[in-house]
């Protein structure tokens, strides 16, 4: 499964007999952008990369120090357990209780993953097969679609930007589709659109899950990055949620541990057991020093998480203010690492992929075209606020120069 940042060698068909699951994957729409970005960097161009939610901030020094200490212990270099060491799973339950008032059993309701993306993909393998259907939010984060396809399942994408309508569409789909959807995926704060919800959304979702007998997978990756007093609600904090679903969390965002690849699946014990069963065949668990450092992070570095969120809020304000001065109509996000921006006229006529290519080629600023997140993303750009405020100001200047450099060609 390719990530957003990877440069594909080719999107041509294979000359060997690959599996049908590979043939079912759609063309990789980030490929053109990533190839040009790679070429520019090889040529020595300083590209301001706002294309991927890849944190540039380092973890808290205490986390790094603990990691170094654990690496120095020869006992930590053996195989670990696939579901995570006991003290790590206990720390996850402790954080859920302190932050969301949710009680979890560390032995049966938590499993550690090699990042939430790996966990999500393997859970799809554990839950789905040929003929099964999943409802996923649209515009769609690619893995929410591709993991279902790799599990031989079918995907129904529903626009998530009006959450109440999204719920209504789930109910309508369940009423009229046979067999009914097996899984419903939710992702709030949403990537890429930054849509947010309140707890009552999950109350209705749990009611629908019970009525139509589907399972819920909540991708809660951006839980820690919230602005202006908004607090992202946990699906698991809803009465009855653990009876119908699980939630994925990650240390990539709030703790700036993206490259460490550590996340968690928590909730319904049978779904957790199914994921653990699959993982038992695929891996031997996370490198133990990473797990030990993660324990220290959750136990002692909550203030650092709050500081990171405040820094992202400052970057959001700097970047959005700059784009607004250029004439962009921006809805400032309440959470997450992205600004989901409608492309202004007349450049919207180019299409999001071509406009993103223009910004990269002429302006040296890499962004993600909305079309890369499905048809509902067309007309938008997703721009990650991962660079510092000075670099974001420079990005705005370069975007402005690019937009003024020439009139769009008449179609």
As a three-state string, the secondary structure of the chain is CCCCCCCCCCCCCCCCCCCHHHHCCCCCCCHHHHHHHHHHHHCCCCCEECCCCCCCCCCCHHHHHHHHHHHCCHHHHCCCCCCCCHHHHHHHHHHHHHHHCCCCCCCCCEEEECCHHHHHHHHHHHHCCCCCEEEEEECCCHHHHHHHHHCCCEEEEEECCCHHHHHHHHHHHHHHCCCCCCEEEECCCCCCCCCCCCHHHHHHHHHHHHHHCCEEEEECCCCCCECCCCCCCCHHHCCCHHHHEEEEEECCCCCCCHHHCCEEEEECHHHHHHHHHHHHHHCCCCCHHHHHHHHHHHHHCHHHHHHHHHHHHHHHHHHHHHHHHCCCCCCCCCECCEEEEECCCCHHHHCHHHHHHHHHHHHCEECEEHHHHCHHHCCEEEEECCCCHHHHHHHHHHHHHHHHCCCCCCC
Residue 358 placed within a domain? yes
Q: Which of 272, 301, 330 is the last residue of a domain?
A: 301
Residue 314 placed within a domain? yes
Residue 409 placed within a domain? no
Identify the pLDDT of residue 13. 78
Which of 130, 138, 78 lies closest to 285, judged by CA?
78
Q: Can you tell me the distance from the alpha carbon of 264 to that of 114, in angstroms, rounded to the nearest whole number?
A: 8
Residue 410 placed within a domain? no
Identify the pLDDT of residue 93. 98
**Pick from 15-29, 237-251, 278-292, 354-368: least confident:** 15-29
Residue 17 placed within a domain? no
Residue 13 placed within a domain? no
pLDDT tens profile 72-107: 999 999 999 889 999 999 999 999 999 999 999 999
Residue 149 has pLDDT above 90, yes or no: yes
Identify the residue with better confidence: 32 or 389.
389
Judge whether 201 and 163 are in contact, CB under 8 Å.
Answer: yes
Task: Kindly report the pTM of this predicted structure.
Answer: 0.94
Q: Which of 238, 270, 301 is the last residue of a domain?
A: 301
Distances (CA, A) of 355 to 170, 330, 378, 403, 408: 33, 17, 11, 10, 10
C-alpha 404 chain-centroid distance: 33
Identify the pLDDT of residue 406. 56
Whether 363 and 332 map to the same domain: the answer is yes
Taken in order 181, 19, 279, 138, the sign of the CA dihedral is negative
Residue 196 placed within a domain? yes
Whether 169 and 249 map to the same domain: the answer is yes
Whether 259 and 230 map to the same domain: the answer is yes
Q: How many domains does the chain have?
A: 2
Whether 197 and 220 map to the same domain: the answer is yes
| Averaged pLDDT, 172-194 | 97
Q: Can you tell me the distance from the alpha carbon of 210 to that of 33, in angstroms, rounded to the nearest whole number?
A: 42
Identify the pLDDT of residue 156. 98
C-alpha 144 chain-centroid distance: 9
Which of 351, 348, 337, 347 lies closest to 383, judged by CA?
337
Whether 198 and 244 map to the same domain: the answer is yes
| Averaged pLDDT, 302-322 | 98
Identify the residue with better confidence: 28 or 389.
389
Whether 39 and 152 map to the same domain: the answer is no
Residue 408 has pLDDT above 50, yes or no: no
Could you tell me what percent of the chain has a pLDDT over 70? 95
Identify the pLDDT of residue 332. 97
Whether 241 and 329 map to the same domain: the answer is no
Whether 41 and 115 map to the same domain: the answer is no
Whether 264 and 187 map to the same domain: the answer is yes
Whether 201 and 114 map to the same domain: the answer is yes
Which of 115, 122, 381, 100 lies closest to 272, judged by CA?
122
Residue 3 has pLDDT above 60, yes or no: no
Whether 228 and 205 map to the same domain: the answer is yes
Identify the pLDDT of residue 405. 66
Average pLDDT of the chain is 94
Would you place residue 316 in the very low, low, confident or very high pLDDT band (cuts 50, 70, 90)?
Answer: very high
Whether 138 and 252 map to the same domain: the answer is yes
Would you place residue 209 in the very low, low, confident or very high pLDDT band (cuts 50, 70, 90)?
Answer: very high
Would you place residue 30 in the very low, low, confident or very high pLDDT band (cuts 50, 70, 90)?
Answer: confident
Would you place residue 291 in the very low, low, confident or very high pLDDT band (cuts 50, 70, 90)?
Answer: very high
How, if at all, do strands 154-159 and 183-186 pair? Answer: unpaired
Residue 124 has pLDDT above 60, yes or no: yes
CATH number at residue 364: 3.90.1150.10
Domain containing residue 338: 27-58+303-404
Which of 396, 401, 371, 377 lies closest to 385, judged by CA?
396
Identify the pLDDT of residue 11. 64
Instruction: Measure the CA dihedral 345/349/351/355, to 10°.
Output: -60
Residue 395 placed within a domain? yes
Would you place residue 26 in the very low, low, confident or very high pLDDT band (cuts 50, 70, 90)?
Answer: confident
Q: Which of 301, 336, 359 is the last residue of a domain?
A: 301
Residue 9 has pLDDT above 80, yes or no: no
Identify the pLDDT of residue 411. 43
Q: Is the peptide bond before 189 cis (omega within 30 degrees of 0)?
A: yes
pLDDT tens profile 241-259: 999 999 999 999 999 999 9
Residue 6 has pLDDT above 60, yes or no: no
How, if at all, do strands 133-138 and 183-186 pair? Answer: parallel
Residue 303 has pLDDT above 90, yes or no: yes
| Averaged pLDDT, 352-359 | 95
CATH number at residue 148: 3.40.640.10
């Amino acid at each position: 499964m390719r990530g957003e940042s990877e440069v594909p060698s080719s999107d041509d068909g294979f000359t060997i007999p690959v599996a049908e699951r590979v043939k079912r994957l759609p063309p990789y729409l980030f490929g053109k952008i990533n190839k040009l970005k790679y070429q520019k960097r090889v040529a020595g161009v300083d590209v301001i990369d706002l294309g991927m939610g890849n944190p540039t901030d380092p973890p808290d020094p205490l986390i790094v120090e603990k990691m170094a200490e654990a690496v120095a212990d020869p006992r930590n270099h053996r195989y670990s357990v696939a579901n995570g060491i006991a003290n790590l799973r206990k720390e996850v339950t402790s954080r859920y209780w302190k932050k969301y008032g949710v009680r979890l059993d560390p032995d049966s309701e938590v499993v550690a993953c090699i990042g939430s993306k790996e966990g999500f993909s393997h859970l799809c393998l554990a839950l789905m097969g040929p003929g099964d259907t999943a409802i996923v939010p649209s515009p769609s984060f690619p893995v929410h679609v591709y993991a279902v396809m790799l599990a031989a399942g079918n995907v129904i994408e529903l626009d998530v930007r009006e959450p109440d309508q999204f719920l209504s569409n789930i109910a309508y789909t369940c009423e009229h589709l046979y067999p009914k959807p097996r899984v419903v995926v939710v992702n709030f704060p949403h990537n890429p659109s930054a849509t947010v919800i309140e707890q009552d959304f999950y109350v209705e979702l749990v009611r629908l899950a019970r009525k139509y007998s589907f399972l819920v997978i909540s991708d809660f990756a951006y839980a820690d990055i919230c602005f202006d007093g908004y607090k992202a609600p946990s699906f698991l904090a809803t009465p009855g949620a653990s009876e119908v679903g699980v939630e994925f969390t990650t240390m990539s965002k709030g703790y700036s541990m993206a490259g460490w690849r550590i996340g968690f699946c928590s909730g319904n014990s049978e779904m957790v057991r199914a994921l653990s069963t699959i993982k038992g065949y695929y891996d031997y668990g996370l490198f133990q020093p990473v797990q030990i450092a993660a324990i220290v992070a959750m136990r002692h570095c909550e203030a650092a998480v709050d500081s990171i969120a405040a820094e992202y809020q400052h970057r959001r304000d700097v970047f959005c203010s700059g784009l607004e001065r250029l004439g962009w109509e921006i809805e400032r996000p309440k959470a997450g690492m992205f600004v989901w921006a409608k492309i202004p006229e007349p450049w919207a006529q180019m299409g999001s992929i071509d406009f993103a290519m223009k910004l990269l080629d002429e302006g040296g600023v890499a962004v993600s075209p909305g079309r890369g997140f499905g048809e509902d993303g067309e007309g938008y750009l997703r721009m990650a606020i991962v660079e510092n405020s000075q670099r974001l100001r420079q990005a705005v200047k370069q975007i402005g120069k690019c937009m003024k450099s020439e009139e769009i060609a008449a179609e």
